Structure 1
């Protein structure tokens, strides 16, 4: 004998606004199934060893070879830099004698790995600091890159790759992307080595995404593999590990073994919105409570129906409850209707709005208002 109980939420189209009502059950069977399908990942991919971190490098340089798109004479830093550079080559000029728009002053940035050797190559980013229109076609001259401690760790030089352009004439101009920022793949060479010294006995792992559940899983997995007491989770982002006395290999081999162990990390409910591109990304475990939103010229119906299966009294079966979700979307025109069966999450909302051609701005605005009402059970990140 089946008993059916339906919850019907209708959103009727009006001339200027429409009420959208969502009745969401926070712990649906479908979402639990998706959670069980989260992949296991290696510990080394979600953690790092404390002390092993990249280092930021920065330098001031000159880009030459620009086709009249460089800095103007108003950029005194560029004029003075060029004059000083030429003097180093035995060419004596004054600031007033430097008048070329084929040159631009730039800042050069790079990231130095936690372990680096002489001759290692680094990718660099070159950014204009003057009034240059474009760095396209330019070449960066030899530029020392230093760390916050003032020591030089790398030197950069080479032709720029600019993923944009800027063109104009007759009072009109057109620009694509950012032509005043360029990159040089493998454009810097490491001049000073950085080495890492490992403790012979103890290690501290730092989680990339802090989580008490994930930290506990990592400690349990390591203890199950190497023995009780090998690992201990100190907090939501730190796990202390001691190499077992019976482990005959060195610390590098032990780290490799630990990093290869797999766990299923906890996935935090999160919605990420990029207002510039209209992109909305959300995890599968984002839920919405009952909420009403008035927005735009839309018409949506969401129907949630519970099915109760009652077995024969003489059988050994158990009573089970399942949910069927139907989404009906209507723009007020005949034939524009969509029916979908899926989980009771934010995916219902996004799918319904996409089906009737709602713009990304509409979707973003609705999600923001739901979060403001306290009905979005997730972290909302706006970029």
Structure 2
């Protein structure tokens, strides 16, 4: 559901209905759990973007001028950094992700961000730059034309397939007899469900949950580890997820399960007061979700003896003219009072 309200400052409040609820839902193990050891590795590098039309770093950026001097010296041109007056060069940081099982010669995307006082890196070209991991070793070499895309940020861009992998991260998956699954969210019930489901599917005790996040699995003799993991990731389990309300404080976006219950309560935040009750309304009311009625004169939301959901509360608050900030404050107050049992996460 999407709710909009316009005032002196236009803003948008999105109330997106996602099934976070307590209902069981079939999920593939590959979607809810990671394989320990099979992951990306972060790479970083420092380089220069050249070919800028006077929008590069100023000569007062000493580290840029020193880098230019060092680059020229590598091609047998020796010059003092103080003698460089060009504004066509920008110092940048390059980041990338080295994918699991990436092989020499594979191409990966890179992200480039200015670290000097350049006005723009649009139209520039990244000079050959080594990318290192946390161990200090070089794993890729980056170079290429910078593309800003549709972004309004002129100081950050990408180079698609802009780096070539030079060193591989060795990982002997084929000869392993056991692996570890790590749930993306800790949950005792889900760990046990994965354990029991895998044991049923493969017909033996190949899985054991050792904590609410970790499940050890052993490879059956007739399968290779690659075949085994491919099958494991496709197995469906009855995955349970706790009710949760996620609030983006900057944009005023609220994401919540459609069936989250709000118990009777009265909340006041600034000039906004809302009353939630099970009693039927006596005055004129507007129908919201299901059996929920809202009286705009009394600022009262009634569930008519049934249950009030978070969807109805947000709709009522919007009709009352509550700003995104007020909605967030009211929902947090409801949580503290016990009217909402679902977890609230503000991002």
Shorter chain as denominator, the TM-score bin is: 0.7 to 0.9
Cα deviation for residue 283 of structure 1 reads 3.1
Please tell me whether residue 151 in structure 1 is matched to residue 137 in structure 2.
yes
- Over the residues paired in the alignment, what is the CA RMSD in angstroms? 3.0
Q: How does 1:325-344 map to 2 (within 5 A)?
A: 325-330=291-296, 344=308
Give the TM-score normalised by the residue count of structure 1: 0.75
Structure 1 CA distance for aligned equivalents of residues 171 and 230 of structure 2: 16
TM-score using structure 2 length: 0.82
Aligned to 1:184: 159
Contact 2:178 2:217 in 1 (8 A): yes
Q: Which residue matches 1:13?
A: none
Is residue 234 of structure 1 aligned with residue 200 of structure 2? Answer: no
Number of residues of Structure 1 aligned to a counterpart in Structure 2: 319
| Residues 331 and 356, structure 1, Cα contact 8 Å, conserved in 2 | no
Contact 1:136 1:162 in 2 (8 A): yes
Structure 1 position 292 matched with structure 2 position 266: yes
Indicate the SS of the match to 2:94.
strand
Query: What pairs up with 1:168-179 in 2 under 5 angstroms?
Result: 176=152, 178-179=153-154
Change (3 A) 1:217 1:356: same
Which range is displaced more, 338-347 or 278-287?
338-347
SS at 2:102's partner residue?
A: coil
Which consecutive unaligned segments of at least 5 residues does structure 1 have?
A: 1-31, 166-175, 307-323
Paired with 1:124 and 1:33, the residues of 2 have a C-alpha distance of 34
Q: State which drifts further: 49-58 or 270-279.
A: 270-279
- 8 Å contact kept, 2:263–2:307: no
Give the alignment of 1:193-272 within 5 angstroms. 193-198=168-173, 199-245=175-221, 248-272=222-246
- Greater relative contact order (CA < 8 Å, ≥ 6 in sequence): 1
Q: Does 1:52 align with 2:38?
A: yes
Question: CA offsets, 1:206-249, max 9 Å, x none?
Answer: 1112211111111111111112422111111101112334xx23
Q: Cα–Cα, structure 1 residues 230 and 156, in superposed 2: closer, same or farther, change >3 Å?
A: same
Further displaced range: 116-125 or 373-382: 373-382
Distance in 1 (CA, whole Å) between partners of 2:259 and 2:33 is 23
User: Per the alignment, do residues 350 and 190 of structure 1 end up closer, same or farther by CA in structure 2, a change over 3 Å counting?
Assistant: same
Mapped to 1, the partners of 2:295 and 2:320 lie a distance apart of 7
Q: Structure 2 stretches of 5 or more lacking a match? A: 1-18, 281-289
Paired with 1:325 and 1:302, the residues of 2 have a C-alpha distance of 13
| Cα gap change, 1:329 to 1:159, in 2 (>3 Å) | farther
Q: Aligned-pair distance for 1:107?
A: 0.7
Judged with a 3 Å threshold, the aligned counterparts in structure 2 of structure 1 residues 270 and 34 are, in CA distance, closer, same or farther, namely closer
How far apart, CA to CA, are the structure 2 residues paired with 1:290 and 1:338?
A: 9
Rg larger in 1 or in 2? 1
2:266–2:275 contact (8 Å) kept in structure 1: no
Contact 1:200 1:251 in 2 (8 A): yes
Provide closer, same or farther for how the CA distance between residues 135 and 368 of structure 1 changes in structure 2, counting only shifts above 3 A. farther
Q: What's the counterpart of residue 121 of structure 2? A: 135
Distance change in 2, residues 1:374/1:140 (3 Å): farther
Q: Tell me how far apart the structure 1 counterparts of residues 20 and 80 of structure 2 sit (CA, whole Å).
A: 73
Where 1:264 maps in the other structure, the secondary structure is: strand
